[in-house]
Structure 1
């Protein structure tokens, strides 16, 4: 799909914290997100700015990124500092006592320091991504520039135990969603502007292959309605041709450039985008907005008949029109 349509903003909702990096919607149309100071927030009533409420569900003590709601009302949290966490009772009322437990804080003998996104399947297994083994979250741009290929896809069995590395060599592994029938997972490789498919069942189980390549921007978090909707892809920024060229340079050149990048001032562009793909990897919708005041879209979900955008850069979320909605 070559043509794009406009991404139309409706309102901006301040959440009282910086960097609502991932947004997920619960069965009641409420949106959950995590912010820089470690709080997990629940946003209720986004459709009406006069009644929107921001509730604090829990504090992780680290930096929450990817979120996944479980059928029992618990919440899985990828914390960039503490690892993979579980917050019990995330669907209960504000002020309830919620336990925060660590499910995994190391992988293959290494401390888990850049846990990025997570999904849980119907059999109870949990899959999560590690964006980089070289650069922590606060040096994420160093990973994008160096192109180290140290991202991972990891599995945690239903009974817990030791995390199992399924895929290595990913370029900034990020968002993660299952196919409708849970026969494969789709992993966003932000640094390579592509989506990768990892087969869970069938004759190709355990193998990976490209799912969608040469995307028009850098894919971040992925989201889909478990009822069978499209895979929505947040594009954190447009493609940068000089960066594509740098990625073909020798490793030493990229490492030097990364050291410079983490010390240089950074400001995201005003171009934002959201893709929608089907289970064949075909782009069925491309929404864009140039010169946007809302920068660096790192997540997207549907809630209350709108698209809700999260951002690791902003102090709130953007509520946009859902294409096709009345």
Structure 2
């Protein structure tokens, strides 16, 4: 009889552990998702308003969406291409429509001027005010070379300077895989000064520069090189101004975003053994490239790489071109 009671206790305990402590349920406590509108896909990066909790995201079909919270959800806010039409572009999946519909990638606010800056892969650097609608073209070329693949972006709040990347002068977004295979090294890091309306090329011959993030004090910019799996630090001020160094090596580094604490979150990948497959991760790094935290997003994204990880309101907002939702990881 004692044996039966003991066995019953073990069985009940096993059921309790399975129901309440299974890995899937533990993971679900940390991760949730915000569904995009039915025809939208491929969130690339985010820009958050101060004080409201609203954020903005660009999607595959050329729209910039504004998220207003669970009650309202997403609404159309703006678009980057003057040739875009809702009839042709909304929900479009044909990559050859990119030059017509636009493809917003990097986003960043300059709060003092209420400008939302956007890197559109085909149009170039554009900006929108609080009214949204069609973006204003800021720059489509530098030093006589048109932007072929405007990608990552960050805004220094004190100066208003916009730092952004042109991933390649040869391959556009539709041919990004060819650039990766060819180890293309024609990318550039650029700076737009809103006071002079001038774009300066800071670095050339980069191997797939994707993300860019400026330090809070404006002394350096971090640049992730997707093709060469490296992150570099380019010095803007001080004794080392106009020079750079490699601060980390990590598979497929993409967008980088600063935190209120002065460090950065970077979207990247790690190699999974023994298959050698890539799984998406977010890494918190400092200005020296030292990793202080890593979050593995494989349970929710599988082998789909992520393009951005941004900290806001005690959570990480996760972007990926391969999904139809915005991930939210609480920590």
Structure 1 and Structure 2 fold alike (TM over 0.5): yes
In structure 1, the residue matched to 2:19 is none
Q: Does 1:305 align with 2:303?
A: no
Q: Answer yes or no: is the 8 Å Cα contact 1:88–1:99 preserved in 2.
A: no
> In structure 2, how many angstroms separate the alpha carbons of the residues matched to 1:177 and 1:300?
12
In structure 1, the residue matched to 2:41 is 18
Greater share of helix residues, 1 or 2?
A: 2
Q: How does 1:246-285 map to 2 (within 5 A)?
A: 271-285=279-293
> In structure 2, how many angstroms separate the alpha carbons of the residues matched to 1:137 and 1:25?
25
2:330 to 309, 321, 325: 321
CA radius of gyration, larger in: 2
Q: How does 1:33-48 map to 2 (within 5 A)?
A: 33-45=57-69
2:232 to 176, 180, 196: 196
* Unpaired runs of at least 5, structure 1: 1-5, 90-95, 245-268
Once the two structures are superposed, what CA deviation does each residue of 1:210-229 show, in whole Å capped at 9, x if it has no partner?
122x21x211111112x334
- TM-superposed CA distance for 1:54, in Å, is 0.5
> In structure 2, how many angstroms separate the alpha carbons of the residues matched to 1:64 and 1:285?
29
- TM-superposed CA distance for 1:109, in Å, is 1.2
2:167 to 131, 151, 155: 131
Structure 1 vs Structure 2 CA RMSD: 2.3
Greater RCO structure (CA 8 Å; 6+ sep): 1
Once the two structures are superposed, what CA deviation does each residue of 1:277-305 show, in whole Å capped at 9, x if it has no partner?
11222110111143534622101112332
Aligned partner of residue 203 in structure 1, secondary structure: coil
Shift in alpha-carbon separation, 1:98–1:293, aligned structure 2, 3 A? closer
Once the two structures are superposed, what CA deviation does each residue of 1:178-231 show, in whole Å capped at 9, x if it has no partner?
12321101001111111101101001111111122x21x211111112x33420
> In structure 1, how many angstroms separate the alpha carbons of the residues matched to 2:55 and 2:222?
23
In structure 2, the residue matched to 1:31 is 55
Q: Does 1:231 align with 2:264?
A: yes
Q: How does 1:113-124 map to 2 (within 5 A)?
A: 113-121=148-156, 122-124=158-160
> In structure 2, how many angstroms separate the alpha carbons of the residues matched to 1:129 and 1:7?
35
User: Which stretch of the first structure deviates more once superposed, 154-163 or 132-141?
Assistant: 154-163
In structure 2, the residue matched to 1:3 is none
> In structure 1, how many angstroms separate the alpha carbons of the residues matched to 2:54 and 2:103?
21
- TM-superposed CA distance for 1:135, in Å, is 0.8
Shift in alpha-carbon separation, 1:23–1:9, aligned structure 2, 3 A? farther
TM-score (norm 1): 0.79
Q: Answer yes or no: is the 8 Å Cα contact 2:42–2:59 preserved in 1.
A: yes
Residues paired across the two proteins, number: 277
Shift in alpha-carbon separation, 1:314–1:162, aligned structure 2, 3 A? same
* Unpaired runs of at least 5, structure 2: 1-26, 82-101
Shift in alpha-carbon separation, 1:232–1:52, aligned structure 2, 3 A? farther
